[in-house]
Amino acid sequence: MPRRIEQIPKQDRPREKLLAKGAGALSDEELIAVLLGKGTSKMDVMTLSGKVARIMDERGFGVRVEDLTGLAGVGCAKAALILAAMEYARRRIKPEGLKITTSADVLPLIRHFADRKQEHFLSITINGANEVLNVRVVSIGLVDRSPVHPREVFADALADRASGIIVAHNHPTGGLEPSQADRDITHQLQQAARVMGIEFLDHIIFNRGGYYSFLESGML
């Protein structure tokens, strides 16, 4: 049976937690749960919000109504509310297109992934004016690694007609120092970018405490 919101201790319920501690204290799933309000007779609101979050991670700014309404429990009204909230936030983050001048400029767009328990490998596509086109989750891995292939990374860049790309992934455990696997995938992506005529701008490793930039460290 789904766990009803009434069965969650009051201080841990998403809406009450937001009112007591502020929106910044909530996880992505909890924020979506506030927007959804409730789940269904077969699925509790936190499980449903997790499914919505996964779709939004994969689609980025390109998420559509039909992507959300394909989930049981998300009708047109709830989908419209989620997309409206997302668009309002997007306009405040990048009113005319967030321009990337340093590696740290992308951190506000990806920082919320720092709390994820698994590695999330992200692509940030950039246009010719150095403005962000989209942010997507390319793959989700284990606690200490996220398997990714260049074709998955550059499929998004080609779809966006991007002139450049930044990739990033969170380190759920340990420090920010890149592993040998991190160095290897960076080299592979750099080579693939040259073939495709897309500029490989940076690979960023981040956690709640900071970030490591391959570009700033002279590794690109």
pLDDT in tens, 84-140: 988 887 776 664 567 899 988 999 889 888 888 888 999 999 999 999 988 899 988
Task: Report if residue 20 sits inside a domain.
Answer: yes
Is the pTM higher than 0.95?
Answer: no
Give me the amino acid identity at 93: I
User: Final residue of a domain: which of 65, 93, 121?
Assistant: 93
CATH number (domain holding residue 202):
3.40.140.10
In a shared domain, residues 88 and 143: no
**Residue 60, Ramachandran bin (φ over 0: left; ψ between -120 and 50: alpha; else beta):** left
Q: Residue 144 in 3-state DSSP?
A: coil
Other Cβ atoms within 10 Å of 152 Cβ, number: 14
Short-list 168, 136, 142, CA closest to 56: 136
In a shared domain, residues 107 and 208: yes
Task: Report if residue 18 sits inside a domain.
Answer: yes
pLDDT in tens, 24-53: 888 888 999 999 988 888 888 889 999 998
35 φ, ψ (degrees, to nearest 5): -70, -40
User: Final residue of a domain: which of 62, 93, 124?
Assistant: 93
Task: Report if residue 159 sits inside a domain.
Answer: yes
Number of domains, the chain: 2
Task: Report if residue 220 sits inside a domain.
Answer: no
Short-list 57, 86, 3, CA closest to 12: 3
